[in-house]
Structure 1
Amino acid sequence: MTKNMQAAIACSPWAPSQINDQPKRILVMRHNCFGDLIATFPYINSLRTQLGSDVEIDLVVCDIYSHLAEHIGLFDNVIKLGGGFNTKKRFVFSLAKIPYLLLRNYDVVLDLQNNKISRITRYLLGKKPYTEFDKYSPLPAGERYRKTINAVGITPVELDTHYQTHFPGNCNDLLTAHGWQGEKYVILNPAGAYENRNWPAENYIAFAKLWLENINDATQFVFLGHSERIGNAVNIVQQALPNSVINLLDMTSETEAFEIVRKAEFMLSEDSGLMHMAWTTGVKTIAMLGSTRADWTQPLGKQVDFFSSSDLSCGDCMQPTCERGDNYCMTRITPPMVLAKYTALTAAQTNGG
């Protein structure tokens, strides 16, 4: 499919009966990955809010991505598939869950995964209203989730980032224990998976200095995630700005990270799961997408903006390394450009844009 074509959404719409004007039980399938799972949450949140607590919504998800789903308050049951990253093992675990899923007797299936395992699961559950995720249309993932859910015809859903869940524990204590002084904080997230999705650590330092000089000199910059991926970049930034960095690498669960992210003033992020966590919780976000296809990955909402490579002849290449050899789609972004985009975004929000 070319980038200017949109696919039809495969579905069998829900048809209200005289007995039930809305389904009693809905099954959502989104097995992986973490960022893609998070991107479904605002639309499931909209569905949950409109249908109320009388309708049960279950989720089938890989166990390695289940923790946040279990605690976010959107799902009545989270059915976990074992097998980790091994597709064959995951398939066996999915077959083992079929008797339980049949007993649940779902009225509607929302297949937001659309892979061989989810399609086989849907087939084994028998003929019933369903909708199948549009994987390939040149639209942001969030918009494709919205359209996929709406295609089944239960009730129209929209982007809803206002979650009612409050997780146990106090993330303020964790922040304070690592030097937080109580001011609004900014999250910097140099967690792009590949080199041509990475912004140089020196640019994060320069951006932080610009922020301190022009926005708020008391701001602290929080780092979350795993040291295996971003530890080197964080160490460089922390050495340059020792009094302004809160380093929480390897210290948070998914729920703790979620709470810390949604309380942030702003996130500057490469393409990663935390970037999706920010825009899906309504946090002001600027994403630097690098080689990622922007039409699939861009964050959504009035509080977001992004840099992409779509204007380049080699842009949106989805490659792990740069054929040019200079990572131009990321290195051309300067710290003043980021600050200017943030200032414009803030002004638009202030003016009601």
Structure 2
Amino acid sequence: MKILIISPSWVGDMVMTQSLYITLKEQNPDCIIDVLAPQWCLPILEKMPQINKAIEMPLGHGDFNLKARYQLGKSLQNEHYDTAYILPNSAKSSLIPFFAKIPKRIGWKGEMRYGLINDLRNNKKSFQYMLERYVSLAYPKDKMTGSGCLGDIHSLPKPKLEINEQIRSNILEKFNLSLEPKIIGLCPGAEFGPAKRWPEEHYGEIAKNLIKQGYQVWLFGSAKDRVTTDKIAALVGNTEQDMISNLAGNTTLNEAVDLLSCCHTVVSNDSGLMHVAAAVGCNIVGIYGSSSPLYTPPLTEHVEIVHTDIECRPCFKKECPYQHLKCLNDLKPDVVMKRIQNFLEKKEK
């Protein structure tokens, strides 16, 4: 069987899709899985051994461009795919497999996809977790009766990105980084919006506390997060700057994945890097503001979730509707620090 996956565009969602690929390989070890994905997600796919080939999606997020989608679909006809899994909910994401004349096209009911998807699943809301929604597509409709029908979420396959030790060693050398003393990673960004971002002042307190205890602190993020990570680094004393490495905006996503694998524990907002860190084996302290771990939790057993219990959360908004951000501001650094200590006091992972 030859399979084409139309992938989501967000890094965190991309990581979670690996559970579907693992399941498909368990069902049919000889199946060939190709994935059509945005360019910025390709480094993630390169670390998934289940993937045969990652195909770059030439169109940007939100770009309809019917002609380009038709041409791409037509070019894929020669691949002779048997089945396509369309993971985004949009109608436009369904067009390429349709134009590629893939006989079986599987996906959730979304915007005007009748006919474009000929194996349409309509009970998505019966599944609580995003992970379940991906994995359930690997099964026939009659097996998809709702959350828990595939077993407990902890029994489902978890993403596991492969790290090449030699490549990682080269990246450490490139950035003049050492694995000693023990490393704690901080991921203070969140592409979704400010209602997911714990204040940099709180992250700064965490960084100062960890460095005082003798640990290294590495700051991760994209170029957009550099202003935030600069503020956090500035909160650490001048004499301790050699213990903090501000990597945001300096690494590629591929390099960030490898460097996250060096961290003992990662403290992160609900973001793509949180899911990456979980998939490379880190202990995770996940900070939730407007979102909820009851939908997209870090997929690891080594996790501590922290959030406030104020009445208005989770609201799932990009910005605080009340302009107070209490769900994040009122979550104090000592609460997060206690969860980090829980991991540091355990035996080595």
Same fold, TM-score > 0.5, yes or no:
yes
Compared CA separation, residues 50 and 266, structure 1 to 2 (3 A): farther
Alignment partners' CA distance in 1, 2:161 and 2:209: 33
Q: CA deviation at 1:122?
A: 4.0
Are the counterparts in 2 of residues 25 and 57 from structure 1 also a CA contact under 8 Å? yes
Is 2:41 aligned against 1:41? no
For the Cα contact (< 8 Å) 1:64–1:84, is it kept in 2?
no
Structure 1 pair 337/261, CA: closer, same or farther in 2 (3 Å)?
Answer: same
Q: Which residue of 2 aligns with 1:82?
A: 58
Counterpart for residue 16 of structure 1: none
CA distance in 2, matches of 1:34, 1:55: 24
User: Structure 1 CA distance, aligned partners of 2:31 and 2:289?
Assistant: 41
Deviation at 1:237, TM superposition (A): 2.4
2 CA distance for matches of 1:26 and 1:126?
9
Mapping 1:38-77, distance limit 5 Å: 38-48=15-25, 51-52=28-29, 54-70=30-46, 72-77=48-53
2-structure distance, mates of 1:175, 1:47: 37
- Structure 2: distance between partners of 1:164 and 1:292: 28
- Per-residue CA deviations over 1:175-219 (Å, capped at 9, x if unaligned) read 674453633311101102322222222211222333345xxx332
Distance 1:266 1:340 in 2: 13
Gaps in structure 2 of 5+ consecutive residues:
109-120, 144-149
Structure 1 residue aligned with 2:83, among 108, 113, 137? 108
Quick check: 1:301 aligned with 2:300?
Answer: yes
Give how far 1:258 is off. 1.3
**1:238-273 deviations in whole A, cap 9, x for unaligned?**
231413211222222222111111232111011221
Cα deviation, residue 295, structure 1 = 2.7
CA distance in 1, matches of 2:67, 2:306: 41
**Displacement, 1:30?**
0.8
Instruction: Show structure 1 runs of 5+ residues with no match.
Output: 1-23
Taking only the aligned residue pairs, the percentage that are identical comes to 20
What residue is the counterpart of 1:166 in the other structure?
A: 164
Question: Following superposition of structure 1 onto structure 2, how do residues 220-299 of structure 1 map, counting pairs within 5 Å?
Answer: 220-227=216-223, 229-239=224-234, 240=236, 241-299=240-298
C-alpha distance in structure 1 between counterparts of 2:279 and 2:296, whole Å: 13
Residue among 13, 27, 30 paired with 2:4:
27
Shift of 1:291: 0.9
- Return the TM-score normalized by structure 1: 0.78
1:12 corresponds in structure 2 to none
Hey, what's the Cα distance between the residues in 1 that align with 2:87 and 2:70? 18
Superposition deviation, residue 31 in structure 1: 4.0
Equivalent position of 1:99 in the other structure: 74
How far apart, CA to CA, are the structure 1 residues paired with 2:23 and 2:158? Answer: 5
User: Could you say if the C-alpha distance between residues 263 and 293 of structure 1 is closer, same or farther in structure 2, counting changes exceeding 3 Å?
Assistant: same
| CA RMSD, Structure 1 to Structure 2 (Å) | 3.1
Q: Secondary structure at the match of 1:188?
A: strand
Change (3 A) 1:26 1:246: same
1:222–1:248 CA contact under 8 A, matched in 2:
yes
Instruction: Determine which structure has greater relative contact order: mean sequence separation of CA pairs < 8 Å that are 6+ residues apart, divided by chain length.
Output: 1
1:338 maps to 336
Shift of 1:43: 3.7
- State the distance in 1 between where 2:302 and 2:332 align: 21
Match status 1:313 vs 2:311: yes
